[in-house]
Amino acid sequence: MNKKLAYAIALAVALAAPFVAYPVFLMKVLCFALFACAFNLLIGFTGLLSFGHAAFFGGAGYVAGYTLKSMGLPFEAGLLLGTAFAALIGLLMGMLAIRRQGIYFTMITLALAQMLYFVFLQAPFTGGEDGLQGVPRGKLLGLLDLGNDLTMYYVVLAIFIAAFALIMRTVHSPFGQVLKAVKDNEPRGVSLGYDTDRYKLLAFVLSAALAGLAGATKTVVLGFETLTDVHWAMSGLVVLMTLVGGLGTLAGPIVGALLIIALENKLGDLGSWLARATSIEWFNAIGESVTIVTGLIFIFCVLAFRRGIVGEIGALLKRAPATSK
């Protein structure tokens, strides 16, 4: 299928989706899909595994929530300040982390992110373990009331499309080609005269900013921000989304985010329905076993779909013409 046609179909589905599904659930999926796409830009196209992206996602959420609730700033300012905060933290973290490679890079990002987690735990404006509650949505450009879920959905969809277009443009630009070269063979990139550390730092900051945009948007959508979003487990969750959907593919993180968030939100309902249908009370426990189910899905994908869902589908489509010949 032509890629432009596939994107057109996906856009049509996204535009019609809030009329058949709960808009808040769809907005949550879009926010996590953007988060996964931002993470995929770093690991899938640059080859850097960060375990600190929760710091950008949750940190931007706290900044956006505080500016909207306590400072009374408009919606646009909250998103911009949250994104700018994530980019700044990404710059500082990246300047330290890119000095190392492999597992050492990963562990530095994890350590720095956990340091930030304890800062948010102790900071007075975050609400500590209670979180930041009652974040207002406000109005877009002072005109559109974002308290309406349908209006808010289309604003979030526009943000996602703009960010996804930026990622696509980055990946297919000369800058993106250098990132791919760094991922494939960094010493060769250095021998060709590229300052690979500078390219990796730019990719890290861009990924952090987009992750921050996702986190700030999620806080506005749901109206609260908690420590869950800055905990290291959130960094593990975005790794899971990316790998299940398809590492190094543009659409893979979106599919992975949809699958994982749908499981988290709908697995309990499925368990209750099965319990009523079969009169087996044990099915009620399914809703409390989301991590077990997602873990099994991850293991299955690693063993059977190493390219992820989208990656395996793409490989099958490439083999199909050759088989037909």
pLDDT tens string for the chain (325 positions)?
567 787 788 888 888 888 888 898 999 999 999 999 999 999 988 888 888 899 999 999 999 999 988 888 888 899 999 999 999 999 999 999 888 888 888 899 999 999 999 988 888 888 778 888 888 888 887 777 888 889 899 999 999 999 999 999 999 999 989 888 888 887 888 888 888 888 899 999 999 999 999 999 999 999 888 888 898 888 888 988 898 888 888 888 999 899 888 887 766 566 565 556 666 555 555 555 667 777 777 787 777 777 778 877 777 777 765 555 5
Does residue 307 sit within a domain? yes
Residue 106 has, within 13 A of its CA and on its CB side, a CA count of 11
CA distances from 167 to 4, 14, 41, 135, 324 (A): 16, 19, 7, 29, 34
Does residue 70 sit within a domain? yes
- Phi, psi angle pair for 59, to nearest 5°: -60, -45
* Overall number of domains in the chain: 1
240, 49 contact by CB (below 8 A)? no
Q: Which domain holds residue 315?
A: 21-324
- Please give the helix or strand (H or E) that residue 140 lies within, else none: strand 139-140
Q: What amino acid is encoded at 273 in this protein?
A: W
pTM of the model: 0.88
CATH of the domain at 27: 1.10.3470
Does residue 114 sit within a domain? yes
The set of residues, in sequence order, having a beta carbon less than 8 Å from that of 12 and lying 6+ positions away, is none
Does residue 12 sit within a domain? no
Does residue 128 sit within a domain? yes
Does residue 219 sit within a domain? yes
Does residue 16 sit within a domain? no
Does residue 1 sit within a domain? no
